[in-house]
Amino acid sequence: MMQRLDTRRLTRSFTPLRWAAFAFVVLVILAATLAPWISPHDPLAQDIPRRFLPIGSPDHLLGTDEFGRDLLSRLLHGARVELVVALGASLVAAVLGITLGLLGGYFGRWVELLTMRTVEVILAFPPIVLALLIVTIYGSGQSTLIVIMGLLFIPAFARLTFGQTLGVRSAEYVEAARAFAAPTGVILARAILPNVSGALIAQFPITLANAILLGSGLSYLGLGITPPTPSWGGMVAAGQRFMPVDPTMLIISSIAVTLTVLSFGLLGDALRDWLDPKSRRRR
């Protein structure tokens, strides 16, 4: 099962732009992880007399918002909130989706019907509408967001795993494992999963990007992460409200969320070209 690391394909998959994206992803993750320690101020501390300070103000590098809160600190803590939600949701989606896809693809017949129909039901709703319905019933907040988006992103993983599993389920090494009377769980985990994992690993940053898009979108609407907790979507919304006075907040938060989504997407593209060579011809 040990594969030789193909460095030539690695260098070809990672163009300079994709390396830059990778670097930015690392930067965002570091910022999110270290936010409580590197933020110059408390993101919730108000200082009304010093509101709407411009970029480059002493003591407030990126200026302040409508309550005089430090924008840099809010941006860093916002990264933390967005990433925690996106990561949680993507993990939930990956675990459930891969499990459904593996089972459906390996067993076929009624298992396939059951698992893939479940997935289709999720696809029968426009995602954000389903999310809004659940928020109405359970209320907003981080954990609700993780659960909702975890469910919404199951189909991407389930369908991908299903398709790939179909492709390898009668491969010789799977037949061999079966001939050795390996338990089904072992076949799925040791013989099939490693051989379909390339595409799945590439799907992960793409799902993260989508989760950041949707999660920050809900926060923008005021129905995801709710104020005063800092979130990028919420900052864009507040920035839009006060843009006639001071467009800085809108522009800064817009750049942060856009670059992050773009970088995760590019990283996904690079990983797919590297780990899943079959996909290159398809696109």
Partner 1 sequence: MVSFLIRRIATAIVLAWVVLTLIFFAIHTVPGDPAYQLAGGDSGFTEEGLQQIRESLGLDRPLGEQYANYLLGVLGGDLGESFATGQPVAQSILRRLPATLQLIAAAAVLAIAAGIPFGAWAGRRRGMADALMTSVTSVALAVPVYVVGALAVLLFSVTWRLLPAGGLTPFAEDPMGFLRGLLLPAVTLSLAFSAVVARMTRTAVIETSDRDWVRTATSFGLTRRRVFNRYVLRNSMNPVVTVVGLEIGSFLGASVIIERVFNYPGISTLLIDGVSARDYPVVQGVVIVIAVLFILINLVVDILYGILDPRARIR
Q: Whose Cβ is closer to partner 1: residue 187's or residue 266's?
A: 266
Instruction: Kindly state whether residue 109 participates in binding partner 1, applying the rule CB under 8 A.
Output: no
Contact 83, 205 (CB under 8 A): no
User: What's the rounded Cα separation, in Å, for the pair 94 and 282?
Assistant: 23
For residues 128-137, b (16+ Cβ closer than 10 Å) or e, as one string? Answer: eeebbebbee
Residue 280 C-beta: closest distance to partner 1, Å = 12
Tokens 């949707």 map to which residue? Answer: 214
**Measured between alpha carbons, how far is 164 from 106 in angstroms, rounded to an integer?**
10
Q: Kindly state the tokens that stand for 197.
A: 């994992």
User: How many residues form the binding site for partner 1 (CB under 8 A)?
Assistant: 43
62 in Cβ contact with 55 (< 8 Å): yes
Contact call for residue 222 and partner 1 (CB under 8 A)? yes
Bridge partners (DSSP) listed for residue 70: 64
Contact call for residue 96 and partner 1 (CB under 8 A): no
Q: Which is nearer to partner 1, 177 or 257 (CB)?
A: 257
- Residue 176 is a binding residue for partner 1 (CB under 8 A): no
**Among the residue ranges 93-101, 108-116, 135-143, 193-201, the one whose residues contact partner 1 (CB under 8 A):** 135-143
Question: Closest distance between partner 1 and the C-beta of residue 3, in Å?
Answer: 29
CB of 241 to partner 1, least distance (A): 10
Contact (CB, 8 A) for 81 and 28? no
Among 72, 213, 271, 275, binds partner 1 (CB under 8 A): 213
Contact 112, 169 (CB under 8 A): no
CB of 148 to partner 1, least distance (A): 12
Task: Assess 265 for contact with partner 1 (CB under 8 A).
Answer: yes
Cα–chain center distance at 7: 27
What's the CA gap between 110 and 219, in Å, rounded? Answer: 40
CA–CA separation, 239 vs 200, rounded Å?
A: 37
Residue with Cβ nearer partner 1 (11 or 138): 138
Position 228 contacts partner 1 (CB under 8 A): no
Structure-token pair, residue 21: 């994206």
By CB under 8 A, is residue 266 in contact with partner 1? Answer: yes
85, 92, 135, 225: which one binds partner 1 (CB under 8 A): 135
The answer to the question of residue 244 lying near partner 1 (CB under 8 A) is yes
> 126 preceded by cis ω (within 30°)?
no
Task: Give the residues lining the site for partner 1 (CB under 8 A).
Answer: 121, 123-130, 132-139, 209, 213, 216-217, 220-223, 233, 236-237, 239-240, 243-244, 247, 250-251, 254, 257-258, 261-262, 265-266, 283
